[in-house]
Chain A
Amino acid sequence: QSVLTQSPSTSGTPGQRVTISCSGSSSNIGSNYVYWYQHLPGTAPKLLIYRNNQRPSGVPDRFSGSKSGTSASLAISGLRSEDEAGYFCAAWDDSLSVWMFGGGTKLTVL
């Protein structure tokens, strides 16, 4: 499987800011856009961030994305209980000609 590296889990308290990271290489994150998704079991993944730092309409501005070199981050500010979910990153890999996905980070809101 083609995997970008994410920490398996993170947590925060309501109102806090948390950051989820995604690490890749020069052929994927280093040279292509990064996308971030929220995923709850049994549901369709939902796009949160596209093209590194753009938010689709309807996604709260509490969610923000950034990219530097071969790494990317998703930040969630003003944490809310409904943010408890899985989050994964994705980027196209030019060398392998495949979409690569992060293993997912489970966010727990304490």
Chain B
Amino acid sequence: EVQLVESGGGVVRPGGSLRLSCAASGFTFDDFGMTWVRQAPGKGLEWVSGLNWNGGRTGYADSVKGRFTISRDNAKNTLYLQMNSLRAEDTALYYCARGQTAREGLDVWGQGTTVTVSS
């Protein structure tokens, strides 16, 4: 069964850091680009970041550029999102999804991990 399981969410103070992980199983991980999407409370979905199969090509939303870093470890079948200088507006449910490009689509999603930035 193809599965994505996010972890690493929690409560952090403004200015703090968190690293999210997304463990992939049931498919050949390095055949696919990967993406992070978030949903703030009461808001719609927002694309956060994506990267290609080997991490050599990455993209970020303007709202997180310079603060968040996406990466992957293909040997561990795991996607990461390092989040620094966190702000209250980063509070959201963070999903990882398989796929990156317009042609691939985002075809498999995890259930998400919650990040709360609050003092």
User: Interface residues, chain A, CB within 8 Å of chain B?
Assistant: 1-3, 32-33, 35, 37, 42-47, 50-51, 56, 88, 90-92, 94, 97-104
B105/A47 in contact, CB under 8 A: yes
User: Interface residues, chain B, CB within 8 Å of chain A?
Assistant: 4, 35, 37, 43-47, 50, 59, 61, 95, 101-103, 105-112
9 contacts across the A-B interface (CB closer than 8 A): A35-B107, A46-B109, A47-B106, A88-B44, A90-B105, A90-B106, A92-B102, A99-B35, A101-B47
Looking at the complex, which one of A3, A47, A101, A104 makes contact with B107 (CB distance below 8 Å)? A47
- Which residues on B sit within 8 Å (CB–CB) of A99? 35, 37, 47, 50, 106
- Which residues on A sit within 8 Å (CB–CB) of B4? 44
In Å, the complex CA distance between A92 and B35 comes to: 12
In Å, the complex CA distance between A32 and B102 comes to: 6
A1/B106 in contact, CB under 8 A: no
In Å, the complex CA distance between A100 and B102 comes to: 11
| Most central of B37, B50, B61, B105 by chain A CB within 10 Å | B105
In Å, the complex CA distance between A33 and B112 comes to: 25
- Extra contacts besides A47-B106, A90-B45, A101-B37 (16): CB < 8 Å: A1-B44, A2-B46, A2-B47, A32-B102, A33-B102, A44-B109, A44-B111, A46-B109, A50-B105, A51-B105, A88-B44, A90-B105, A98-B59, A99-B37, A99-B106, A101-B47
